Structure 1
């Protein structure tokens, strides 16, 4: 571990902990802890959402997928970025206008059902777990490459998992949403800075994206695989043109036509069901601010993913030629191709910036993992602390007790994810998709897009949705998604396997149909029209609704005060006896 690595890691930890300390909540209020007082501005919130969303799967996984699969890997960037289009058009503003602490709380109140709330809690926790594990894996991979040794007898990989998860768990537990928001905003800016620096140095060295794709496409695409003689390069087969060799610049290196559509749909629909991203919209002051924030997010992540695709291509083009000048690459590559594709960006950083460049990119990767872990842990805390503890376990809990319940569940969720990430080493798992980190994140998107997104969209845009219909839809979509991608990960390659590993194309419509059919046979909530006006009414309607609620509350207060004054005027029996004397 060099001095540059030590300085870089120390700087990252100081920034993260310093921001959390400065912006920590001053009051033990659930609104402050979970929603930052609902006063987060558009620019800050857009940066924070990007920091929350652009995870290790985005920073390491997208570049790795492009590095391994060429054009097919770019579908990850398309799906991740496209996910905010349905959020902008269908979800963001109505969700914020309705206003709650979490997705489970929104569905439970909208449909007037504790069964809906608890079912959503279960699905949300499954999504969070599937998303947490690859972030911890990304932290372990980065530490293993950057530092190369562990502490207290642990392997370098396990040390990275535990360190990155533990630091951010403490930050979230004591900084709440306010500290997490500012941390994620700062972390996104650092992340983008690292990508921009890499893009500038590789283009300054003569790299041109179009020329590189054309040159890489001159030969069949091959990747390391473990065979009878050990590790060796094996050619990829084109999944569109059977029998043909896959090439970098043409589709088919990883997916057939159906698989490409299934992947984009899974990633696109999954975004609207991600609890750590959607919960951020409850922190916006208004529905208009939530929609404007989404526009900013679309622009920022579009730029980010364009850079990630370019740099994944640059790594594939540059690293083989760099072997002669950088002997350390021998232990990381097989015939010039990286054994672990998630090393693509850190290796580029070391080639062009030495240990300092490696430190910068590795720190950005740790930032990406920790930033998303922060959002996931906070979403887990909101779900358990508010939706379960406050509403069911201890309905009379004080604000301080509710906040501490959220903090405790944060630490438990972090420990669970770290343990599973250590058990699932990257080199012990052969993913069905080009990157382990991207593969596991796709599972989270699949469950979210299959179980939560159809029900959320129906709850916002269909008056007739009932509580039983929502529960049936969520359970059907979630179970079908888990069964499909589990089967797809175990079965031998085939054209239908591509649909199984990205199951939302099938599972989401099935969940929606089940929710509609069951809802038509059952009764919707009584207050549908009131909820509809809150989510969709014109500005005048919503203003009138707020004024009506304020008037009713004022009248109740007046009646309460009048009753109190009448009780005060009545003489007490003891006082009459004293007066008689």
Structure 2
């Protein structure tokens, strides 16, 4: 690693640590630690949600998926961005108005059930773990490319996994939601600036997206495969039009028609069930602020993913020619095609900015992984510290004890994710989808969209939802999605395998159906109308409801006083 790259990485870490120190909570209350005092503004929260959401799968994975499979890879960008549409229309404002600490806490209180809360905690932790692992993998891949050697006898990949995870775990444990919010906002701005810089550089060099797609589509799409102890370029077969070769600008390079629909549905529904993203809406001051924040998020991530698709295309168009001019590309490519697709953006950074450019893009990749890890660890802390410890293990816990449990749980979750990322090394996988980190993140989206999203949406919009129905939806959605994508590894390439690898198209309707059927056979909470006013009533309705509750409380107090006299 050069001095320039070292300086770039150190500068980024100093900024991140500095923001955490400056914005760390001055008090030890759970509202401050988990929700930043519920005083996060629209602009800051929208940047922070983007930083939380735009993970290594977004920064490295989307460009890598486009690089490998062209139009089929762009479905990742479509699915990731489209996920905020149902959040905007169905979830953001009612969820914030109800006002809890986490998704599990919302479901437990809304359905008056500790069993629902605890089952939700289990599903949330599973989603968090599935999401944490690819972020750690992304950190390891980036360190391996940038540095090339490990520390303390570890491999470069393992060193990157441990360092990136350890740094952000300490930051989260120290800074809580307030420090993490500002960190994620700053990290998003740095991440977006790095991608924008790269787009400006390739455009100034003469790259034009439309012309590149047309040029790349004039020849069969070929990618490296490691067989018989050596790398070989192999032609991709079109999965939509069998018997023909796949090309960059047409669908079918990786998925058939069913697989494309299944992937977009899985990613689109999964967002509303992601605990680290949904928990951010509880930090907004009002429901209106939560909805406005989502509009800004849609605009920002739409711009980001458009740039990511453009850069994946640019890498496919530019790197073959650059490999004849830059000898260092020989170790990364096979006949001008990258062996590891996630190297697409860092390689472009080095081509256009030399070592400083490589350092900038690598630092941005680490930022993407670290920012999402921060949100995931906070979501984990909220479920363990508040939903489990405060609610069940020690209901009389002090604020300091609850925060201490939350901080401890962040370190444990980070350690588990890092250990699994090291054990499940990238070379041990033969992913059914074009990018390793994007593939692994899809697992988290599948579980969230199949189990949590149906139950959350019904709890918000259907009065008859019951605790028993929610349990049926949570259990059926999670088990079905896990069973399907585990089964995909045993199937040969086929439409069935594509459906099994992105199972929400099947699992989510099943969860919706079972939740509805079981709810119709059981009794909903008796005071559901009060919840309805909180989530869906006008401001005047909610004000009147609060006055009515205060009046009743005052009457009860007066009766108790008279009895006491």
1:285-364 paired onto structure 2 within 5 Å = 285-364=285-364
Change (3 A) 1:178 1:209: same
Structure 1: runs of 5 or more not aligned? 567-581
Give the structure-1-normalised TM-score.
0.96
Aligned partner of residue 100 in structure 2, secondary structure: coil
Which residue does 1:441 correspond to in 2?
Answer: 441
Q: Residues 134-170 of structure 1, C-alpha deviation per residue, up to 9 Å, x if partnerless?
A: 0000000011111111100001100000000000000
Which residue does 2:31 correspond to in 1?
Answer: 31
Which residue does 1:572 correspond to in 2?
Answer: none
Change (3 A) 1:196 1:290: same
Distance across 1 between alignment mates of 2:230 and 2:70: 25
Distance across 2 between alignment mates of 1:492 and 1:536: 48
1:119-130 paired onto structure 2 within 5 Å = 119-130=119-130
Distance across 2 between alignment mates of 1:311 and 1:552: 61
| 1:561 positional shift | 7.7
Aligned partner of residue 184 in structure 2, secondary structure: helix
Q: Residues 100-123 of structure 1, C-alpha deviation per residue, up to 9 Å, x if partnerless?
A: 000000000000000000010000
Change (3 A) 1:33 1:229: closer
| 1:550 positional shift | 3.2
Q: Residues 10-43 of structure 1, C-alpha deviation per residue, up to 9 Å, x if partnerless?
A: 0111111110111001111000000000000000
Aligned partner of residue 232 in structure 1, secondary structure: strand
Distance across 2 between alignment mates of 1:196 and 1:8: 17
Which residue does 1:525 correspond to in 2?
Answer: 525
Change (3 A) 1:174 1:439: same
Give the structure-2-normalised TM-score.
0.99
Distance across 1 between alignment mates of 2:300 and 2:463: 34
Distance across 1 between alignment mates of 2:429 and 2:229: 19
1:31-430 paired onto structure 2 within 5 Å = 31-228=31-228, 230-430=230-430
Tell me the number of residue pairs that the alignment of Structure 1 and Structure 2 aligns.
565
Distance across 2 between alignment mates of 1:156 and 1:271: 32
Q: Greater CA radius of gyration, 1 or 2?
A: 1
Distance across 2 between alignment mates of 1:561 and 1:375: 47
| 1:551 positional shift | 3.3
Structure 2: runs of 5 or more not aligned? none
The alignment yields a C-alpha RMSD, in angstroms, of: 1.2
| 1:554 positional shift | 4.7
Change (3 A) 1:148 1:561: farther
Structure 1 position 488 matched with structure 2 position 519: no
| 1:548 positional shift | 2.2
| 1:422 positional shift | 0.6
Which residue does 1:12 correspond to in 2?
Answer: 12
Q: Residues 509-556 of structure 1, C-alpha deviation per residue, up to 9 Å, x if partnerless?
A: 001101111111111111111111110111211111122233344556
Q: Residues 211-263 of structure 1, C-alpha deviation per residue, up to 9 Å, x if partnerless?
A: 10011111110111112251111111100011111000000000001110000
| 1:174 positional shift | 1.1
Change (3 A) 1:563 1:193: farther
Aligned partner of residue 226 in structure 2, secondary structure: strand
